[in-house]
Structure 1
Amino acid sequence: MAHHQIVKGLKVDAETRCLHYHSPIDRIAIKFFCCQEYFPCFECHQAEGCGKHEVWPKDRFDEKAVLCGTCGHELSVEDYLACASTCPSCSSPFNPGCNLHKHLYFG
């Protein structure tokens, strides 16, 4: 693994891709606010998570909550939302389509 975080989910690979999202640019994991554990996607959290889904409150967007599956860099919610297309550490591209699902993770 390129990182040292535990990422839970269904068929998670070394760069945090899962059964649901597995294109070459699907390489982030989100720390869910409710359980403080990393999952590649909402569906994986629904399948193997805590069962108490909560989105990140806006007043805590300064906390680390997004993991780059390539280099292991952790981004705060605000940093991720500001640069959602590439990792600021290793420049690996992130899936811009993730923006369509941000309401599932961030309040």
Structure 2
Amino acid sequence: MGGVNVYGQSVDDQTRCVHWHSDLDIIAIKFKCCNRYYPCFSCHEEETDHEHQVWPRSEFDQNAILCGVCRKELSIEDYMASGNICPHCTSHFNPGCSNHYYLYFEVNDHMK
């Protein structure tokens, strides 16, 4: 595995957690507030004692997504433009994650 630590209740080495663990749930997200990767929002909320922060649009060029299969980091903009396929290893990401972008990223109201 790569050198990036993933915190939270991971259930395997591809970043699946107790909350999200389908075959497609293979990303971890770096939280802006603490600069730590977690498999999901719930894992962050359960393990930290601070409010989460969303990434502002002006920082979508930052690496904040980790593919659990190849362990490569992606920028937020590359992740959002990926078509739910890792550009490095072609593993498929859960397309349903886009329903939760507002928990992690500054998005337009119509994306919620």
TM-score computed with the length of structure 1 as normaliser: 0.94
Return the alpha-carbon distance in structure 1 between the equivalents of residues 55 and 27 of structure 2.
Answer: 16
TM-superposed CA distance for 1:27, in Å, is: 0.2
Matches within 5 A, 1:1-107: 2-107=1-106
Two-structure CA RMSD over aligned residues (Å)? 1.1
Q: Secondary structure at the match of 1:97?
A: helix
8 Å CA contact 1:3, 1:69 repeated in 2 = no
Which 4+ residue blocks in structure 1 deviate beyond 3 angstroms? none
Q: Secondary structure at the match of 1:103?
A: helix
Return the alpha-carbon distance in structure 2 between the equivalents of residues 59 and 27 of structure 1.
Answer: 25
Greater C-alpha radius of gyration? 2
TM-score computed with the length of structure 2 as normaliser: 0.90
Describe the shift of the 1:50–1:33 C-alpha distance in structure 2 as closer, same or farther (beyond 3 A).
Answer: farther
- How many pairs are equivalent? 106
- Runs of 5+ in structure 1 lacking a partner? none
Q: Which has the higher contact order (CA 8 A, sep 6+)?
A: 1
- Runs of 5+ in structure 2 lacking a partner? 107-112
Percentage of identical aligned residues? 53
